[in-house]
């Protein structure tokens, strides 16, 4: 196995782990809504996840670890996707917020700023702000 193969395998595992986190978060209220499914489908396409891989994740999302990306930009993108998912239909529940906090730490953000990152992210999303502004806000908080 070449270094490139190892790199691709690691990236694929991170992508599958991210998708599993989206599925877990969407399922907190018992089912995945149509709007949540649209986001998941978009992420599947962006991450080149096949229907077979998605079905495997949907059937057993706990079987896929968080496996965070290395760079801050990618971690912020993952946090953005997760935050969009919980804010798309309603004000997030306490259970969704607590799970997002765990995922935020799992993505490698500092524990000391987790509450601030999550609260600011949710407030930002509920205000329907753009990704670039979101990214800059999280960078400022986490650095």
Q: What is the pLDDT of residues 7-44, one digit of tens each?
A: 446 788 888 998 998 899 888 888 888 888 988 998 89
DSSP letter (8 states) at residue 108:
T
> Which pLDDT score is estimated for 1?
47
pLDDT in tens, 91-121: 898 999 999 999 999 999 999 999 999 999 9
Residue 33: CATH number of its domain:
1.10.3680
What is the total count of domains within the chain? 1
pLDDT in tens, 67-79: 888 899 999 998 9
Contacts of 76 (CB under 8 A, 6+ apart): 134, 135, 138, 139
pLDDT for 3 beyond 50: no
Structure tokens at 51: 């229907």
Q: What is the CA angle 102-107-112, rounded to 5?
A: 65
For residue 98, the enclosing domain spans 3-142
Structure tokens at 94: 């306490």
| Better-predicted residue by pLDDT, 88 or 73 | 73
**What is the distance between the alpha carbons of residues 80 and 70, in angstroms, rounded to a whole number?**
16
């Amino acid at each position: 196995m070449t270094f490139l193969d190892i790199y691709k395998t690691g990236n694929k595992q991170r992508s599958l782990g991210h998708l599993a986190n989206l599925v877990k978060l969407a399922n907190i209220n018992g089912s995945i809504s149509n709007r949540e499914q649209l986001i998941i489908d978009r992420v599947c396409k962006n991450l080149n996840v096949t229907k077979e891989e998605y079905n495997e994740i949907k059937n057993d999302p706990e079987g896929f670890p968080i496996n965070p990306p290395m760079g801050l930009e990618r971690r912020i993108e993952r946090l953005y996707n997760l935050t969009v998912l919980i804010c798309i239909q309603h004000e997030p529940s306490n259970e969704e917020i607590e799970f997002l906090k765990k995922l935020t730490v799992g993505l490698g953000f500092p524990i000391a700023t987790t509450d601030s990152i999550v609260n600011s992210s949710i407030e930002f999303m509920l205000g329907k702000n753009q990704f670039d502004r979101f990214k800059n806000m999280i960078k400022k908080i986490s650095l």
